[in-house]
Amino acid sequence: MFSTALRPDDSPVAGPSDAPEAAAPRTYMVRTLGCQMNVHDSEHMAGMLEQAGYTRAEAADEAAHRADVVVINTCAVRENAATRLYGNLGQLASIKAKRPGMQIAVGGCLAQKDRSGIVEKAPWVDVVFGTHNLDALPVLLERARHNEAAQVEIAESLQVFPSTLPTKRESVYAGWVSISVGCNNTCTFCIVPHLRGKERDRRPGQVLAEVQALVDQGAIEVTLLGQNVNSYGVEFGDRGAFAKLLRACGEIEGLERVRFTSPHPAAFTDDVIAAMAETPNVMPQLHMPLQAGSDRILRAMRRSYRSEKFLGILDRVREAMPDASITTDLIVGFPGETEEDFAETLRVVEASRFSSAFTFQYSQRPGTPAATLPDQLPKEVVQERYERLQALQDRVSAEESARQVGRTVEVLVTEGSGRKDGATHRLTGRAADNRLVHLAVPDDVVTLMAGRADGDVLADDPRLADDLDPRLPRPGDMVTVEVTRSAPYHLVADSAVAGATGIGGTGTYSVRRTRSGDAWVAREKTRLGGGDDHGHSHGAPAAGGPVSLGLPSLRRP
């Protein structure tokens, strides 16, 4: 354990609280930078703070960083990670100067990497904690207040498996479930294994118990998380464990959608493809990181597969699930990449027909083998290749989206909305293949949705009514619509609207009520001051305490 207490003389000091016992609870906000694993870690941080008596700041206060405790959960994967962190901390310095007692905490991968250097650069930070000791956050905050000194505590190995911690779920209809932490791969561009450690797998019964707990509280969608999710089971000696886990999720009553991210092509086996195709609630969607199409570059990256193996996996996935949507990660400008290497990436991307891709320009990460490789490419070369690759993927995505026009899809309605949905009165959600869909409601339902797009749910919101209009969906409900037009990275379904653009006006529109929609209503009524709390707290009671993980009850044929 690396632990220090720091407070340079010229930094702001947050003194011990002298507030009366009856004072309102201290408020908190958590800002997340980075991947899905970080998003889920932030849910754990929020759960621990609420268990310790903090309450989440109101949305307007969060937007202005007006909270008693501001936690930044950092990422260290990209080159601009530190720039983003210190930019955020610079903004917080002036806010903190005007808020006596305010505390700032920094956690996550960059905290694990930079340690006490964060307080040295930003002496107004109160707490720094790493990826291996999330559970220490409330104690470190209290210690920093009591000691009037910054607390930096970085564990060298995992102290408590994060999934055993209290969790404040962001959504009532969908949830993340970690099946493993850490990674055993040695990709030369990646710093994650150094910061998150070797892979550690949870037992299947623990994973399924957490999934069951989520379903019991109203969730109908779960995403299984791991740095290398399909190598699950290696630690306890069962290389077929991931496929078995997918099939077991299919036995959980009420669980309608199962997703997972991210697999590694080298360990992606046909038993996983079969489990996906044969388990009805495992969705026809796959995120399969390619990184590069050149075998020479893949070898330099220590990616233990080659382009033809990768394309073979996609062929077998589509043979088993013809409508599968496949996405990927790509890196442009890896050290030594030639124009011929880049042409191979373009070839494989063209052949792969990805629905979308997360495309990155290579950046040197100190501590990774690739950072010291010769032939680092000039910025202008990387930028030009990046733009060519992005243009290709934009075209492919547009073509793949266009193939969806005319299809009937079932959309899980989400709480967020698109940029223009407020003006068009559309709702937003995800189809089974995870494509983003903006859908219209019937003309005579539009008036019921007035004010919806501002994000506020008020007591007179028609979605909370006991006599709910059967055509008005709530977040968490399912809506069946027909896709009427497409864009590269979203679909539009105006089939409910007469005279809609394209083939709209077909009348295809139906709402299916779900337990998730019921749970959303219960949560909002509780927030507004009435009803019972059915929000997610990791399967725990409303107080947000930890849950005892046992074997779930499974539905048998």
Q: How far is CA 194 from CA 176, 264, 365, 484, 502, in A?
A: 23, 18, 12, 47, 51
Asked if residue 262 has a cis previous peptide bond (ω within 30° of 0), the answer is yes
187 labelled binding-site residue: yes
Sheet holding 150-154, edge to edge: 2-6, 150-154, 127-129, 103-108, 69-74, 27-32, 55-56
183 labelled binding-site residue: yes
Residue 419, classified by CB atoms within 10 Å of its CB into exposed (0-12), middle (13-18) or buried (19+), is exposed
109 labelled binding-site residue: yes
Q: How would DSSP label each residue in 2-18? A: EEEEE--TTS---PPP-
User: Residue by residue, what is the 3-state secondary structure of 125-147?
Assistant: CCEEECCCCHHHHHHHHHHHHHH
CA 394, 395, 396, 397 torsion-angle sign: positive
Q: How far is CA 37 from CA 116, 178, 311, 340, 380, in A?
A: 23, 8, 27, 35, 32
**CA angle in degrees (0–180, nearest 5) for 28-30-33:** 165
Q: How far is CA 255 from CA 17, 168, 221, 536, in A?
A: 45, 20, 6, 15
SS3 state at 511: strand
Cα–Cα distance measured from residue 372 to residue 416, given in angstroms and rounded to the nearest whole number: 42
Spatial CA neighbour of 206 closest among 539, 555, 550: 550
In what helix (H) or strand (E) does residue 70 lie, and over which residues does it extend? strand 69-74
190 labelled binding-site residue: yes
Sheet holding 285-287, edge to edge: 285-287, 325-332, 356-361
Q: How would DSSP label each residue in 236-267? A: TT-TTHHHHHHHHHTTSTT--EEEEE---GGG
Annotated binding site: 35, 75, 109, 183, 187, 190
Annotated binding site for [4Fe-4S] cluster: 35, 75, 109, 183, 187, 190
